[in-house]
Structure 1
Amino acid sequence: MTRAVVIGAGIVGLTTGLALRRAGIDVVICEQAPEIRAAGAGLGLWANALAVFDELGIGEQVRAVGKPGEMYFHDPAGRLLDTPEFGVEDHRYLLVHRARLNDLLADAVGRENIRLDTGFREYEEHASHVEVRLSGGGKEEADVLVGADGTYSAVRAQLVPGTPAQEHPGHHAWRAVIPAADITVLRNRLVLGPNGCRGGYVRTHDGSVYWLVNQFQSPPLTGTRKQQALDRARHLEDAGEDGILTDLIDATPEELILHNQIMLVPPLPHWVSARVALAGDAAHAMSPHITAGATLGVEDAGLLGHLLGSTGDVSAALAAYEATVMPRYARAAELSATVEHSPSPQDFARHYAAFSHWMTTQPLRQLDESQVRA
C-alpha cells in the first residue's frame, strides 16, 4: 500500500489526507501545533471546492456548517454595483467558520491519523521512498510527502530554496466573528470604497456576524486594531447610511479582532520533485481579496488524491499534478491582479465576477488514469 506523510493539519492538509485515504493510501498528518485549530474567522468556499467535498463524501456535512451567500458589491451609498453580464451562479458561495470546518475534516480523516505537536524538520529523498524527519527526533518513511503547511511552509523552504513569503506592500485585513447581539443585521453587505478600502459583513449559519475590512496601499498603521478597522470603515459608509459596519466593529472586543499584513508566496519554478509536492498556500498563497485561496487549495487536494490513487508511480502522478495545477494557478494570479488593479469600484465588481465565473466553470480537471502512467 502506498504511504503518504502530509505536513500541516489546516483545511488543505486535512482535505489532502482525506482525499488520499479515500484513494486507498495510508496517511499520517503531522501538525506542529498542540491542537487542531484555525487561523482566521470566516471562509468562503466556491462551487468547485464543494464539488471536491461531494466527491469525498462530506459535501452535505460541509454545507451544514456553512451559510449560502452571494458575492455582490455595493458602493458606500448602498447602491448595487451590478454585473449584468454574469449570472447569479457566478456570485454564489458558501460561508463557513474555519474552526468548524477544520473539526469536521479532522473527524472525517480520523483523528488517530493526525499527530499533533509534531513539527517538520527536513526530508531526504531516495529512489524508493522519502524519509521525513520530525521534531523530537522522530521520523517517517513514506512513498510521498505533501507539504500543506501554509504560507510559511518549511517543506517549500527545502523543495524550492529562496522563496520565503513576501509582504503584499500596504495590504492589510481586519476581521472578526461576533454574536449579532443588539445590532440588527437584516442583510449581507459588501462595500467597495475609496482609498483602496473594501469591507462589509455577512450573517453566518449560527446567527453570528462576520465582518471584515481590507485596504490596499494602506498608510502606516497607528492606534489599536479596533481603531485601525474603524478608520477604514469610514470610507465604506456614506453619511446617512445605516452604519452597521461601524457598529459591529465598535461592539467587537479588541482581543477578538484579527489583523493581518497580507503575505504572498512568489511564483515558484516547480511545485514537486520525484516524491514531494506542495499544496494550497504552501505553493500559491494569494491575496484574500478574491476569496479563493481555500477553494484552490481544496482543488489541489482532490487532484492529488485522484492522481496518486490512480497509479503506483508516484513520480508520474506528481509530474501530472504539477503540469495541471501550475498553469491554472498562473491564470488565477493574472485574474487576481486584474481585480486588485481595477480603476474603479464598478470595474472591481465586474472583474471579480469574471474571476469567479472562470474558476467555477473551468474547475481543475480530473486526469484519466492513462495520463499518469509511466
Structure 2
Amino acid sequence: MRAVVIGAGIVGLTTGLALRRAGVDVVLYEHAPEIRAAGAGLGLWANALAVYDDLGVGDRVRAIGKPSEMRFHNPAGEVLDTPGFDADDHRYLLVHRAKLNDLLADEVGRGNIRLSTGFREYEEHAGGVTVRLTDGGETEADLLVGADGAYSAVRAQLVPGTPAEEHRGHHAWRAVIRDTATEVLANRLVLGHNGCRGGYLKTHDGSVYWLVNQFQSPPLTGTRKEQALERARFLEQDGLPKVLSALIEETPEDVILHNQVMLVPPLPRWVSARVVLAGDSAHAMSPHITAGATLGIEDAALLGELLGATDDVPAALKTYEADRMPHYAHVAELSAAVEHAPTPEEFAQRYAAFSHWMITPEAARGSVRA
C-alpha cells in the first residue's frame, strides 16, 4: 500500500510515522522549503505520549520536553482548586514544536519528505488516487491524507465551502525567550479579568515560554508587544511582582507571535473512498484547551492501526470517520463548556473535567477501539 500525506507538521509527520510502522509506503509533501513549526511551546498529554510510546519514540520525545502541570492561578497567584480531580488530570509534557518536528522528520526519514512541493488537486479512480502537485508533477497512491492544517487545500476539494473561520474576538500572543533577566521561580498560568488568560512556563532547556490569550477582544491597536502588555495587566495584581509583563518587555518585537484564532466548522464528512483528513484540517479548535496537537496525534495513530490491519482502504476510512466524528463532537462540547465558564474557578474545574476525559483510555480509543 502507498500513501501520500500532505503537510509535514506534527500531525502529518506522526501520520507518516504511524503508517510506516504499519507497513505502508509513505511520502510526505510540504509546501514550505524546510521542516518548520508555527508557534512555540506545545503541550502533549498522556494520550499523545502513549501514541509515541507505541510508535517507539516515546523516550526521545520525553527527552526534549519538560514535565509540567496545567494548574490555573488567579491574579493574586493563588491556585484555583479543582475538587474531584487528581494530579494525573493536570500533567502534560511541554515541548518545543520545532524540536518535535525535527525528531519526527528524522524518524519518518528525510528521504521520504518532499519540501517546497504543495498540493494542487486530486482525482480518485478505481483502485487509487492521483495527486497533482504545485511543481507540476503528479503521483499515484492508494490513499491521500490531508494533514495540512486549518487552511487545508485537501479539505477545500473534499468538502467545498468549509474555509477556516475566525473565532471572533479571540486572539493569542506568545514567544519563547532565552537568557532572560527576569527571575522565573515557578510556572504560572493565570485566569484573569476581561476574558484574558496567560502566563509563563520554563522549558527543558532553560528557556521561558510566555503566552497571553483574550476572548472577546476589542479591536487591536499598537504593536504586538503593546497588545500583549495591555492584556497582561488583567493577569497581574497590583502590589505583586509583574513577571509576565517583564518577560514581554524583554522579548524582541520580531519574536512575538500573534494569531487571530481560527476554527474549522463542523464538517459533514472527513473521508471519501481514498482521501482522509487528520488533525487541524478536520477539526481545528480554539487553543484554550491546549490539546489540538494531542488530539491530532490520536488521529494519526488510528489511521495507522486501521490501515495496518486491512488492504480495504475505503472500509478503513469509513471506520475512521465513524470513530472520529462523534469523538470530536464531544470534544467541541467540552471545549465550549470551558470557554463559556462564568468564573475563573468554573473555568479551571471544567478544564480539569475535559483533560480527565481526554486522557482516559476509553475516551482516547473511541468507539472503534473500546
Contact 1:306 1:366 in 2 (8 A): no
1:236 aligns with 2:235: yes
Q: Aligned residues, how many?
A: 369
CA distance in 2, matches of 1:368, 1:345: 36
Please say if residues 81 and 346 of structure 1, whose CA atoms lie closer than 8 Å, have aligned partners that are also in contact. Answer: yes
RMSD, matched Cα:
1.2
Q: CA deviation at 1:368?
A: 7.3
Give me the whole-angstrom Cα distance separating, in 2, the residues matched to 1:234 and 1:366: 41
CA distance in 1, matches of 2:164, 2:42: 21
Give the drift of 1:211: 0.1
In structure 1, distance between residues paired with 2:251 and 2:319: 47
Correspondence 1:113 to 2:129: no
Paired residue for 2:128? Answer: 129
**d(CA) in 1 for partners of 2:153 and 2:13?**
17
Q: Name the CA shift for 1:194/1:367 in 2 (closer, same or farther; >3 Å).
A: closer
CA distance in 2: counterparts of 1:266 and 1:313, whole angstroms: 29
1:262 and 1:305 map into 2 onto residues whose CA distance is 30
Per the alignment, residue 316 of structure 1 pairs with 315
State the partner residue of 1:365: 365
Alpha-carbon distance, 1:301 to partner: 0.3
Question: How do 1:322-333 and structure 2 match up within 5 A?
Answer: 322-333=321-332
Question: Cα 1:196–1:273, aligned 2, differ >3 Å: closer, same or farther?
Answer: same
Structure 1 residues 366, 168: CA separation in 2 closer, same or farther (over 3 Å shift)?
closer
Tell me, what secondary structure is at the counterpart of 1:235?
coil
Match for 2:274: what amino acid?
R
How far the C-alpha of 1:363 sits from its partner, in A, is 3.8
Give unmatched runs, 5+ long, in structure 2.
none
Higher mean C-alpha deviation, range 125-134 or range 357-366: 357-366
User: How many angstroms apart in 2 are the aligned matches of 1:164 and 1:284?
Assistant: 12
Cα shift at 1:242: 1.4
The superposition leaves residues 309-338 of structure 1 with CA deviations (integer Å, 9 ceiling, x where unpaired) of 100000010001001111111100000000
Instruction: Provide the secondary structure at the position in 2 that maps to 1:212.
Output: strand
Q: For 2:152, give the aligned amino acid.
A: S
In structure 2, how many angstroms separate the alpha carbons of the residues matched to 1:248 and 1:90? 28
Is the Cα–Cα contact under 8 Å of residues 323 and 366 in structure 2 kept in the other structure?
no
Q: Which amino acid aligns with 2:106?
A: D
The answer to whether the 8 Å contact 1:166/1:263 transfers is yes
The aligned counterpart of 1:186 is 185
Query: Cα offset for 1:181?
Result: 2.4
Counterpart for residue 225 of structure 2: 226
Secondary structure of the corresponding residue to residue 186 of structure 2:
coil
Which residue of the partner structure matches residue 277 of structure 1? 276
1:303 matched to 2:302: yes
1:367, CA displacement in angstroms? 7.8
Q: Runs ≥4 in structure 1, deviation > 3 angstroms?
A: 366-369
Matched residues in 1 for 2:253 and 2:170: separation? 21
Is the contact between residue 76 and residue 193 of structure 1 (CA under 8 Å) also seen in structure 2? yes
Note the C-alpha offset of 1:62: 0.4
User: Could you tell me how far apart the structure 1 residues matched to 2:91 and 2:170 are?
Assistant: 26
**Structure 1, unaligned stretches of length 5 or more?**
none
Letter in 1 for 2:347: F
Post-superposition Cα deviations, 1:143-198, rounded to whole Å, max 9, x if no partner, equal 00000000000000000000000000000000000014221111000000110000
CA deviation after TM superposition for structure 1 residue 366, in Å? 7.4
**Deviations 1:347-367 (CA, angstroms, capped at 9, x unpaired):** 000000000000001343278
In the alignment, residue 329 of structure 2 is paired with which amino acid? A
Q: Distance in 1 between matches of 2:123 and 2:364?
A: 30
Distance in 1 (alpha carbons) for counterparts of 2:200 and 2:180: 14
Residues 180 and 247, structure 2, Cα contact 8 Å, conserved in 1: no
- Determine the C-alpha separation between the residues in 2 that align with 1:366 and 1:196: 32
Q: Report the Cα offset of residue 118 of structure 1.
A: 0.6
CA contact (8 A) 1:213 1:232 kept: yes
For the pair 1:202 / 2:201, whether they are aligned, the reply is yes
Equivalents in 2 of 1:79, 1:24: separation in Å?
Answer: 50
How far is the alpha carbon of 1:84 from its aligned partner? 2.0
Cα distance between partner residues in 1 of 2:242 and 2:24: 52
Alignment of 1:70-219 (within 5 A): 70-219=69-218
